[in-house]
Amino acid sequence: MRACVVRLPVTCASVLAMSNNVAVSVGDQVYLEHSEESFGSVRHVSQHDLTIDIENFGDVTIPASAVVGVQPGKILVLASALPTNVRHAIGRAHLNEDK
């Protein structure tokens, strides 16, 4: 599988994200800001949004403006910038896992 790398447009959120000059790539793990547990992975990157696969839910598209941090292999998103249905899906991402 060929990696797709796209630099997000400069917005208030992505200025912080791009401060280390790290690009968002397909396969990067996605986390809520201040969380240590991934809820999904990047499936597609475009100039204005990301498609992510949320565990136990499926693919959703989120605005690039929800991205508040980018590290190698790790994307941080702000929960309050996500649609309600996406926040609910994230909350259920690990429900079926053994504790």
The ranges assigned to domains in the chain are 5-91
Q: DSSP state, 85? A: H
Rounded CA separation 83/4 (Å): 25
Closest CA to 82 of 45, 32, 21, 27: 32
Q: How much is the pTM?
A: 0.76
The amino acid that residue 24 corresponds to is V
- What tokens appear for 77 in the block? 């998103």
**21 burial type by CB count under 10 A (0-12 exposed, 13-18 middle, 19+ buried):** exposed
Q: Which CATH number is 5-91's, of 2.30.30, 2.60.120, 1.25.40, 3.40.50?
A: 2.30.30
* pLDDT tens digits, 20-68: 567 888 999 999 999 999 999 999 988 888 999 999 999 999 998 899 9
